[in-house]
Amino acid sequence: MTGSRLLGSGSALPERLVTNAELSERIDTSDEWIVERTGIRQRYIAGEDETTASLATKAARAALKDAGVTAGEVDLIVLATATPDNTFPATATKVQDALGCNGCVAFDVAAVCSGFLYALATADSLLTTGMGKCALVIGAETFSRILDWEDRTTCVLFGDGAGAIVLGAPDLAKPAREGGPGVLASKLHADGAHHDLLYVDGGPSSTQTVGHLRMKGREVFRHAVANLSSVLGEVLDDAQIKAEAIDWVVPHQANRRILDATAKKLGIPPEKVIVTVDQHANTSAASVPLALDTARRDGRIVPGNLVMFEAMGGGFTWGASLMRV
Ligand code: UT7
């Protein structure tokens, strides 16, 4: 088995930028507290006419353009989100219709902040087993719609956005594990015992409401560093790669301190970690592809680089993937 290849990436942000200073006019917080505890300086918040599907479509179009792939060539759309436009149908089907690739496989994945890792591993498995030749893997969120804007312990942490990649089926002549491009290894985990540390207090089957995000931040933080360090070790072992060989880590952007602590545990220098949490805040499933696209566009991540993706979120869910881009 050999892994699927990255053909292109794209991203989209809402028009409205909200700084920490603007938030501190509305709630009891300060730019100083937010920057010191999280590294976040600003976030983008969706307007009335912007939804998870519209941001996802914009990111997907950019990724297809970057890959030089037409919508008609897409066999599979896997969209990770915890903030779908509707309870059903899947937001992926809205994106499919907007792109005009009706008829291909399209579904959503719900693994919250680890959603992109779950979507990537799913799409990679389906392409590797011959379900198609080309996949759009998207992470898109409008977390602003599920935040309790009176709760300063959570509302300052999140933002809206979308990121997408185009994955191509494995190149059998140049396997990823023999130096070719593609996914070398992926590992996913979940532990439902921690449901109450990070969840939304509503839903169609429980309260018939959308609900608001609730988080015990300090406890999530502790688990995040431990789980991420362990899953990164598993992926490196599986791929038989040493941490020093990694060119870039593209982590889920929840908190600058989690990124630093995880990199330190693995012995990866901070210069190799892509950080966008200062610009985008925590965009849940969108954060990894948004950070990847940012670093490809500014020329840091280039073809041939070994890139580690990792994320941890509500559930708990967590995972990591190693890819030669
Ligand atoms: O993406 C999914 C995964 N999510 C995460 O990974 C998030 C993980 N957790 C974190 O990033 C951090 O725990 C937080 C950023 C959420 C919080 O940082 P912390 O250093 O753990 O702070 P804390 O929750 O222990 O709160 C410290 C103090 C408290 O005051 P007291 O009780 O010590 O007087 C809070 O009330 O900071 C207070 N506080 C605030 N002050 C100003 C909490 N939120 C704010 C705020 N502005 N926005």
Q: Per-residue pLDDT tens for 1-37?
A: 679 999 999 999 999 999 999 999 999 999 999 999 9
Active site residues: 113, 252, 282
The protein residue whose alpha carbon is closest to atom 30 in ligand 1 is 153
The finding on whether 125 has its CB within 6 A of some atom of ligand 1 is no
Query: What's the CA gap between 279 and 13, in Å, rounded?
Result: 11
* pLDDT at res. 19: 98
Query: What's the CA gap between 174 and 149, in Å, rounded?
Result: 50
pTM of the shown model: 0.98
How many angstroms separate the alpha carbon of residue 127 from the centre of ligand 1?
41
The finding on whether 224 has its CB within 6 A of some atom of ligand 1 is yes
The finding on whether 265 has its CB within 6 A of some atom of ligand 1 is no
Across 143-152, average pLDDT:
98
* pLDDT at res. 295: 98
Helix (H, G, I), strand (E, B) or coil at 208: coil
How many angstroms separate the alpha carbon of residue 169 from the centre of ligand 1?
42
Q: Are 106 and 56 in contact (CB under 8 A)?
A: no
The finding on whether 40 has its CB within 6 A of some atom of ligand 1 is no
The protein residue whose alpha carbon is closest to atom 21 in ligand 1 is 218
The finding on whether 24 has its CB within 6 A of some atom of ligand 1 is no
* pLDDT at res. 172: 86
| Residues shown for the chain | 325
How many angstroms separate the alpha carbon of residue 158 from the centre of ligand 1?
13
Give bridge partners of residue 213 from the DSSP assignment: 200
Q: Which residues of 154-189 are buried (b: 16+ CB within 10 A; e: fewer)?
A: bbbbbbbbbbbbbbbbbeeeebbbeebbbbbbbbbb
Q: Per-residue pLDDT tens for 187-196?
A: 999 999 999 9
